[in-house]
Structure 1
Amino acid sequence: MSRSRTVGPLAGVVGALVVVEATSGVIQGFYTPLLTDVARNLDIHDSDINWFEAAQLLLSAIVVPLLARLGDMIGHRKVLIGSLIVTAAASWGIAFAPSFWLFTLVWAIQGFYVVWLPMNVSIIHARARKHPNTAELTSKGAGLIVVALEAGAIGGALVAGQLGGLLPLWMTLSVPAVLVTIALFVVIFKVEDPGTRAGGKIDSSGTVLLSLALLAITGGLALARVNGFTPFVWGVILAGGALLWWFVEVEKRKDDPVIDMHLISRPTLWPVILTSALFGVSVLGAQGPLSTFAGTNPDEVGYGLGLASAERSYLIGAYVLSLLIGAALYARISRIFQPRPVLIAAAGLVGAGYLLLVPFHGGVLIVASLMIVAGLGSGALVAALPATAAAAAPPHQTGVATGLTNTTKTLGGAFASAIFALALASGVDSETTTAASLSGYQTVWAICGVTAIIAVGALLTVPKVAFTSADPDAEGLGEGSDALALEAIGPDVVVSETQRRPRPPEAPAPQSPDIAQEDER
């Protein structure tokens, strides 16, 4: 089959969404080499950097399921544009925020960018369904935006490291804001509304309960930063846990829940959702500690790598490049083996990389090597988890299914970031040093490694033919339900629809003009 047939019909929209995901990658990679400089500029302790991530991931965990549901209801393009506007405003705020608390606020609001990937995948899928070769079109489109995301993260880290030593900090921090603003206009002018709608309504009560639960748990951890784990702090955390249990019980009875508990309970979906949460601990929660450890001067405290911002950018860039390689290798290796054992091996690599960092962290080469090991596994999981979760979802819930992996991943990262902040602050005298403690860094790496090993155990419970179209029953499909299976995830996602029985006819979605076919690129 010619390349023009497999890529041409979606070339315009995918090209625009590549800009969006590349910008998302820049956001994820750009700031990390600069975190030590940000801490010095705001006159805060290195451990306080983790509260930026905790706040952003907490907000993301709240808004992603809400926006994913809203995207299915009112249109994924509208939600994408709205989230771009909010992210652009927050990105400009980051460049000029003068204080720790204001910086934390705008950093948190920037977390709206997390919804871009599920919205982009849903837009591509909706457009591809208008063509006979839906699977190939979605495969190529999804693969291109994943590559763009990883490439943006690598480029962002490297550029930030170089600019950090040349420009004032506010000017360097303005670069992501400029790129988000450009991406906003690209979507407005280049992405048409595919016209797909699922109907339904927003679960306001569920959203409020989830927000209160997450705020209580994270707020309790934040209070522990100031006063330690007092009875009051434990009470706040337990109240958050009780609210979270209440949220789950309420959602089970809702027709249009903000998080579909019945969808999560499918036999092949719950291990993926749990893996996403555990994976979020390392892929989202551990990047700040890695950057600050690399910037810590060993001549002053006896540990750390003592790297400048440019050198830290190379370390971060090597890690992110390993993510991209891991995603590409997963797509190819899973054609030879079943996706399930490859996913298990990927989680095992993450665990091994972080656990080995606990005793071996004395030089740049060993730290970089172990981070690359963890990155190879992480890349496979980043590419695979959204689509394997969608394998148990009906076509009209693809936004919700892909959003679930982001929601749980950000939840894992949010709680981990708060816990890591406490661990890194323990055992140091903030009056004499701004460096976090070595025992705190070792605790961070140990937690990342152990959670990855637990994810391996969860994935072992999945049927061997899961994440393929071979056996709908093994994929946990209920009687009369269908699934959108995104197999062999990564740069070559394969999409197939499987059914237990024919579905009732659906009203055709409003048609928009087809995108002009393009020749080979």
Structure 2
Amino acid sequence: MRASKVPLGAVSAVVGFLVIVEFTSGVLQGYYTPLLTDIARFLGVHDADVNWFEGTQLMVSALVVPALAKLGDMVGHKRILLISTAITAVASIALAFSPNFWIFLIAWSLQGFYVVWLPLEIALIYSRSRQHPHAAALTRKSAAYLVAGLELGAIAGALAAGALGVALAGQLWLILLIPALAVVACFFVVLFGVTESPEKTGGTLDRGGLVLITTALLVLTAGLSFMRLNGPGNPLPWLAIALGILLFVPFVRYELKQADPLIDIRMFRTPAMWPVQVTAGLFGVSVLGAQAPLSTFARTDASVYGYGLSASTGETSILIGIYILSLVVGALLFPLVTRVVRPRVALIGAALLVALGYLLFLPLHDTLPQLLVNMTVAGIGSGALVAALPAAAAAAAPHGQTGVATGLTNTTKTIGGAFASCVFGIALLSYVTTSTGAEGTAGSLEGYMIVWTICGVTALVAAALLVFVPKLAFQDAAETVEQTPAVR
């Protein structure tokens, strides 16, 4: 199969200022990671407690994305993008002036509203290009540029954090104020530069469904929190998690009875949709849950604990920058690869690269070159999936449900990341003894092994599930006509 080439002009016409929005999103995602150890020391918490930041932010994202994605379809994707940007800006400013762990945690959680940006943008792009003969290919290529902008922003953020961490040492509030100012600027870019989507479904928000899914997610979040606090040996966390999962049953039954549901559960019945959404959840384990462990492992002092890279803030930012650059490569390669093989095959290949990269950590984690190879392999696959999953969901979604479908990829991804963050936090919580016999603050090597194993296995499961996607899924009619049986 060889798909028709989408002109760059057509892509730029629908992407426009959205690349700047994703660049800002990338700054938020890359800037704080090299500073996590410094933030933990400033707040007086253990390295494992850093996973609280990821876990709570991911669960807030899971709570708000379904409603915001649906509202985007109803009243306009730009309008909701603007609202979420304003909330993110306020939370980012609050981070810089948070005096203690709990206020910082609340501000960090609310900053998670930025997670809805990419699905809203993909939905907006697909809505604006629906009449184009190559709408699916155009959306894939546009998504690749957006993700490239996101990851370049993450590189810029990581490098800036590393440099400022040295130049402004001892002034953490000022260092944390920089990304907040970037989000404020992004608000005005959206306000004046982004065109609203031409299609709005109207209607009213399914408040009953919103209450039910929020309750289920809150109970699930409480269970994960209890798991962190009480440990896996206590039955209370397991009961709360089980209850949270069971509460999705009445939600599903309620949604199936609604004429205009918050989430159209029937979408999950299609063979092109359910593997994509499950893959997004499994992918969230590594792309979201493993970020903090990778940073803290690199910063761990090998002379004290016997493992780690003893990396400084600047060295860690460079390491993360190279990893993110591999994400850019993966995102930009995906639309090119889908001109040669079907999107379904490209998705499977991307998931396998993620699995290979993380499983390589098990035998190879002692030197910087080893970590760079592992992270590059995983990064290429991850970059492709970040761009491909919302684009695939948009192509498989029924008319008027594009925002919901793309939002669901982020919701399931954040839920997967939140579960992983909890499990990884527990795995790393065991205190280790330093070379002097004192109790240290770093996580155990066995805990890191568990993290890498889980990331690799979940990616393998995702690749296996994608095999069940129909061979011609996520393609335009023109691509289907042009294909040959050479590649299956």
TM-score, with structure 1 as normaliser: 0.85
Is 1:23–2:30 an aligned residue pair? no
Correspondence for 1:457 among 437, 460, 464: 464
Counterpart in 2 of 1:274? 278
Structure 1 residue 195, shift from structure 2 partner = 4.5
Is 1:42–2:43 an aligned residue pair? yes
User: 8 Å contact 1:121–1:142 — kept in the other structure?
Assistant: yes
Question: Which secondary structure state, in structure 2, belongs to the residue aligned with residue 357 of structure 1?
Answer: coil
Give the direction of change, closer, same or farther, for the CA distance of 1:88–1:376 in structure 2 (3 Å limit).
Answer: same
Structure 1 residue 140, shift from structure 2 partner = 5.7
Superposition map of 1:164-183 within 5 A: 164-167=165-168, 168-183=171-186
Give the direction of change, closer, same or farther, for the CA distance of 1:256–1:3 in structure 2 (3 Å limit).
Answer: closer
Counterpart in 1 of 2:245? 241
- State the superposition RMSD in angstroms: 2.4
Question: Which secondary structure state, in structure 2, belongs to the residue aligned with residue 6 of structure 1?
Answer: helix
Structure 1 residue 339, shift from structure 2 partner = 1.7
**CA separation in 1, counterparts of 2:424 and 2:141?**
38
Share of identical aligned residues, percent? 53
Q: Over residues 27-81 of structure 1, what are the superposed CA-to-partner deviations in whole Å (9 max), with x where a residue is unaligned?
A: 1111111111111111100011111001000010111111000011111111011
Is 1:84–2:85 an aligned residue pair? yes
User: 8 Å contact 1:465–1:471 — kept in the other structure?
Assistant: no
Superposition map of 1:397-408 within 5 A: 397-408=401-412
Structure 1 residue 282, shift from structure 2 partner = 0.2
Gaps of 5+ in 2: 484-488
Is 1:347–2:351 an aligned residue pair? yes
Structure 1 residue 436, shift from structure 2 partner = 0.9
Structure 1 residue 297, shift from structure 2 partner = 0.4
Counterpart in 1 of 2:312? 308
Correspondence for 1:184 among 183, 187, 196: 187
Correspondence for 1:197 among 196, 200, 215: 200
Give the direction of change, closer, same or farther, for the CA distance of 1:244–1:221 in structure 2 (3 Å limit).
Answer: same
Decide which moves more: 286-295 or 258-267: 258-267
Structure 1 residue 128, shift from structure 2 partner = 4.0
Is 1:212–2:215 an aligned residue pair? yes
Counterpart in 2 of 1:75? 76
Q: Which amino acid aligns with 2:395?
A: A
Structure 1 residue 413, shift from structure 2 partner = 0.5
Q: Which amino acid aligns with 2:113?
A: F
Superposition map of 1:67-466 within 5 A: 67-128=68-129, 141-167=142-168, 168-228=171-231, 229-426=233-430, 428=432, 432-466=439-473
Counterpart in 2 of 1:494? none
**CA separation in 1, counterparts of 2:255 and 2:16?**
38
Counterpart in 1 of 2:34? 33
Give the direction of change, closer, same or farther, for the CA distance of 1:2–1:269 in structure 2 (3 Å limit).
Answer: closer
**CA separation in 2, counterparts of 1:471 and 1:145?**
24
Give the direction of change, closer, same or farther, for the CA distance of 1:194–1:308 in structure 2 (3 Å limit).
Answer: same
User: 8 Å contact 2:133–2:476 — kept in the other structure?
Assistant: no
Decide which moves more: 451-460 or 190-199: 190-199
Decide which moves more: 33-42 or 201-210: 201-210
Decide which moves more: 151-160 or 251-260: 251-260
**CA separation in 2, counterparts of 1:264 and 1:270?**
5
Gaps of 5+ in 1: 475-486, 488-521
**CA separation in 1, counterparts of 2:397 and 2:454?**
31
Structure 1 residue 453, shift from structure 2 partner = 0.6
Structure 1 residue 396, shift from structure 2 partner = 1.7
Give the direction of change, closer, same or farther, for the CA distance of 1:450–1:225 in structure 2 (3 Å limit).
Answer: same
User: 8 Å contact 2:137–2:475 — kept in the other structure?
Assistant: no
Give the direction of change, closer, same or farther, for the CA distance of 1:284–1:234 in structure 2 (3 Å limit).
Answer: same
User: 8 Å contact 1:6–1:140 — kept in the other structure?
Assistant: no
Instruction: Report the number of matched residues.
Output: 471
User: 8 Å contact 1:218–1:418 — kept in the other structure?
Assistant: no
TM-score, with structure 2 as normaliser: 0.91
Give the direction of change, closer, same or farther, for the CA distance of 1:234–1:124 in structure 2 (3 Å limit).
Answer: closer
Q: Over residues 191-231 of structure 1, what are the superposed CA-to-partner deviations in whole Å (9 max), with x where a residue is unaligned?
A: 24344210232122222222222222222222232222322
Structure 1 residue 468, shift from structure 2 partner = 2.0
Give the direction of change, closer, same or farther, for the CA distance of 1:260–1:297 in structure 2 (3 Å limit).
Answer: same
Give the direction of change, closer, same or farther, for the CA distance of 1:126–1:30 in structure 2 (3 Å limit).
Answer: same
**CA separation in 2, counterparts of 1:136 and 1:411?**
28
